Amino acid sequence: MQVQKTGGSTFPVGSLRRANHELQKILEKLSTAQRINRASDDAAGLAVSEQLRSNIRGFKVATQNISDAMSALNITDGVANQSTAILQRQRELAIQSRNDTLSDKNRAALDSEYQQLTKELDRIADGTKFNKQDLTSGQGLASGNAVIQSGPESDNQMTLPEIDIRSASLGVQPTSIATSAGANQAIEALDNALGSINSQRSTVGATVNRLYSSVNNLNVAMVNTQAAESVLRDEDMAKGLMELTQARLLQESSTTAFARFNEINKSYVRSLIG
């Protein structure tokens, strides 16, 4: 006698497989602490989550970019402060040379120091660099065209101010205090130079404050974006444990049902044979 398999035997097998599959998915979520581990878990949620992750990484890099720019500008401000001290000393020498109680020889001695200070202005301006880029010579980062990527999007950009504290740009280069008339012209040129360098320092300070505000905004945005990404992607552990308990109960029930089904089939076969 030939015994046919009952078509209903696929039902307990399929039920058991589904129970095992669901149990594996729940265990994976709990072990990784993530609700979305692959696109099939939540296709739309994964797309949004990945975009948020890109923004988070962009916020971190942009924060570093701004920190580098602030470091460069702080160096610029320190150098400008030193240059201001040099200009103040030159003005003292010019005022002294303007006094007609001095002889030409006295003025020549004062002018010697004056010219050396002018050279020092240029040496400082040309030698101040950040990552091998000029900071105070109107070139490189001081050109007025240096762009800082200050956010995760392509249009999140800021431009560093133009800074040029070389003697020629300040109007100090051609001056001399070797004569009384020259000293008089030098005083006027130095006053203009001090006004120019103070204006540039104010711009640097304002830019640093703006960059500092941008860093704070980026940090707030990054925290909020991380929270949003966590809501989308992270597993609710309490809910996951509840689902794990349900899945295990379902798996045990399916296993018991499958075993019982096999016993019934065997008994049925034996009754037919016997």
**Coil, strand or helix: which one is 157?**
strand
- Can you give the pLDDT of all 274 residues of the chain as single tens digits? 444 444 445 555 556 566 566 656 656 665 666 666 666 667 787 788 888 889 999 999 999 999 999 999 999 999 999 999 999 999 999 999 999 999 999 999 999 999 999 999 999 999 999 999 999 999 999 999 999 999 999 999 999 999 999 999 999 989 999 999 999 999 999 999 999 999 999 999 999 999 999 999 999 999 999 888 877 766 655 665 566 576 566 666 666 666 666 666 666 556 666 5
- pLDDT at position 1 is 42
Residue indicated by tokens 């008339």: 181
Query: CB-based contacts of 97: which residues, under 8 Å, 6+ apart?
Result: 106, 107, 110, 111, 114, 177, 178, 180, 182, 183, 186
Predicted confidence at residue 212, as pLDDT, reads 95
| pLDDT given for residue 30 in this prediction | 56
Quote the CA–CA distance of 125 and 167 in Å, as a whole number: 9
Single pTM value for the model? 0.73
Longest dimension (CA), the chain: 141
- Position 44 scores a pLDDT of 83
The helix or strand, by DSSP H or E, that contains position 225, with its residue range, turns out to be helix 180-233
Q: Which of 223, 62, 57 is nearest to 157 (CA)?
A: 62
> Whole-angstrom Cα distance, residue 215 to residue 234?
27
What's the pLDDT at 75? Answer: 97
Domain at 47-233: CATH architecture: Up-down Bundle (1.20)
As a residue count, the chain comes to 274
34: phi then psi, degrees, rounded to nearest 5: -130, 135
Predicted local distance difference test score (pLDDT) of residue 256: 67
